[in-house]
Chain A
Amino acid sequence: MGVERRRGRADIRTPRPKDVRIVEDISHHSVPKESPLRRVVPGVFMADVQKLLNWGRKNSLWYMTFGIACCAIEMMATGAARWDLDRFGSFFRATPRQADFMFVSGTINEKMAETVKLLYDQMAEPKWVLAMGACACTGGPFAGSYNVVPGVDKVIPVDVYVPGCPPRPEALLDGLTRLQALIAQEGLRAVPRTAAERAAVGRSAGSSAGRPVEPAGSDASGEREVQA
């Protein structure tokens, strides 16, 4: 009986398909439906490169080992076994050169602001920033102090804000999934540097993929909306 059970699936013979079949359920597909490129054999998946790239990026967000204040304790808890950020493909990296992503977890004073900026600049593109906690969002309890920067978005661009003092790990995980949703919408040029560049990328990708690269709402207000 044991031997029988051990016969794996590889032994089960499936008839070879007589013909390729049309996969209909790939939404947002840039290849026209009637194109032969959409004819696939079972076991072969197709997607547009942009989608694959975004999928890879959003599921391997390696974040920098960088804690600033009390919020960092909660970030470490989120990274540890109980909340387990690893299951989202996120790991601590000990150097900005290998990090895609930075949790800004704490109060930014003016001296630390220089360090945060330096580390951000050392990270390779594409890169994202999550402001964790009241301090990183607005200065929190220390806003208005003579040495505190009222929010890390005064120093580096921020993609997602997670309020709380400190935010619970669940809130942080929510922030991370929101960031993933944001990344899922990004184009091949994840980070257009200038407004003109951004407009150009939006036009070309928008015409081929049928949707804008930047999420709607990335307008003068500067907020990047998340459309999950």
Chain B
Amino acid sequence: MSDTGEAGAPAVNQERLAASEALRAHLGTAVPGAEAVVRPDGELDVRVRAADLEAAARVLAGRAPHPLNYLACVTGLDWPERGRLEVVYTLYSLPGPAKVHLRVEVDRSLERPSVPSLTSVWPTAEFQEREVFDLLGVWFEGHPDLRRILLKEDFEGHPLRKDFVDRRPPWRRVTREDYQP
């Protein structure tokens, strides 16, 4: 994870640190399967199993008085050496100082590696999960419209997987004579 403890690192946001500590304690009881770690920079890392993902998300999103109501980013990662695909939801609280990374992993060797969709918790997740699906091939169960978003519908494979091979035929230059409208 990040190591912001070095010299020259920005000062740790103490409010955020306190919020993370409180959130960690809360998650420990609310979602027993979640592993929460407060990072040195004050942000909270939450690792959950796919089965606990939605429960953890609801706890975070409904946490008073500072709900994590802003899903800033959904990131996908490929870890071929560990055989895992990881999805990271980066969450902010607009009224409060908290910042949380909600992580879930799934076996990459499955034909359809899937995790639950969080669209019902944060509607913003819809397009971002489509992007992770498109580029990394993680299926989001319960997603209302799981289609490719960036690539063509008929694209084969998921290009940000480390073992992706581009199988397109070689390109040919088109001239006016052989151009087919």
CB distance from B61 to the nearest CB of A (A): 34
B174/A111 in contact, CB under 8 A: no
A-B contact count (CB 8 A): 40
Which positions 133-172 of chain A face chain B at CB distance < 8 Å? 146-147, 149-151, 153-157
With a cutoff of 8 Å between Cβ atoms, the chain A residues found around residue B82 in the complex are none
Digit string of A180-197 for contact with B (CB within 8 Å is 1, else 0)?
000000000001111100
- Most A CB contacts (10 A, CB to CB) among B150, B155, B175, B176 go to B176
> Contacts A146-B159, A147-B159 given: A154-B164 contact, CB under 8 Å?
no
Not counting A151-B171, A195-B177, a sample of 14 additional A-B residue pairs whose C-beta atoms are within 8 angstroms of each other reads: A121-B181, A146-B166, A147-B155, A147-B159, A150-B171, A151-B173, A153-B173, A153-B174, A154-B171, A154-B174, A155-B174, A156-B179, A194-B177, A198-B177
Q: Knowing A146-B164, A146-B166 are in contact, say whether A157-B174 is a contact too (CB < 8 A).
A: yes
Which residues of chain B have C-beta atoms less than 8 A from A151's C-beta? 171, 173
A222 within 8 A of B: yes
List of 10 A-B pairs having minimum Cβ-Cβ separation, nearest first:
A146-B159, A154-B171, A157-B176, A222-B175, A121-B181, A153-B173, A195-B177, A146-B166, A157-B179, A157-B174
11 interchain pairs, CB-CB under 8 A: A111-B152, A146-B166, A147-B151, A151-B171, A151-B173, A153-B173, A157-B179, A192-B176, A194-B177, A222-B173, A222-B175
Decide if A174 is an interface residue (CB 8 Å cutoff).
Answer: no
Please state if A154 and B173 are interface contacts (CB–CB under 8 Å).
yes
CA of A198 to CA of B176, assembled, Å: 10
- Across the interface, name the chain B residue whose C-beta is closest to A152: B174
Is A110 in contact with chain B by the CB < 8 A criterion?
yes
Question: Which residues from B are CB-within-8-Å of A154?
Answer: 171-174
Residues of A within 8 A of B166 (CB): 146
Contacts of A194 in B (CB 8 A): 177
Which residues of A have CB within 8 Å of B150? 147
Q: Specify which chain A residues have a CB less than 8 angstroms from the CB of B171 in the assembled complex.
A: 149-151, 154
Chain A residues packing against B (C-beta within 8 Å): 110-111, 121, 146-147, 149-151, 153-157, 191-195, 198, 222
CB distance from B172 to the nearest CB of A (A): 7
**B residues near A156, Cβ cutoff 8 Å:** 174, 179
Taking the nearest CB of chain B, how far is it from the CB of A125, in angstroms? 10
Q: Given A146-B159, A146-B166, A147-B159, answer yes or no on A157-B152 (Cβ-Cβ < 8 Å).
A: no
In the complex, the answer to whether A111 meets B177 with C-beta atoms within 8 Å is no
The complex places the Cα of A194 from the Cα of B181 at a distance, in Å, of: 13
Q: Is the CB of A191 within 8 A of B151?
A: no
Closest to A198 in B: B177
Question: With a CB–CB cut-off of 8 A, which chain A residues contact B177?
Answer: 192-195, 198
Chain B residue with Cβ nearest A155: B174
Q: List chain B residues, Cβ under 8 A from A191.
A: 176
Contact with A along B157-181 (1 / 0, CB 8 A): 0010000101000011111110101
Chain A proximity mask over B133-155: 1 for CB below 8 Å, otherwise 0: 00000000000000000111001
Across-interface contacts of B176 in A (CB, < 8 A): 157, 191-193
The answer to whether A110 and B172 touch across the interface, beta carbons within 8 angstroms, is no
Q: What chain B residues lie within 8 Å of A153 (beta carbons)? A: 173-174
- CB of B144, distance to nearest CB on chain A (Å): 23
CB-based nearest A residue for B159: A146
**List of A residues within 8 angstroms of B155 by Cβ:** 110, 147
Cβ B175 vs Cβ A157 within 8 A = yes
Report Cα–Cα, A68/B173, bound state, in Å. 20
CB distance from B135 to the nearest CB of A (A): 10
B136 to chain A, nearest CB (A): 13
Point out the residues of chain A lying under 8 angstroms from B175, CB to CB. 157, 222
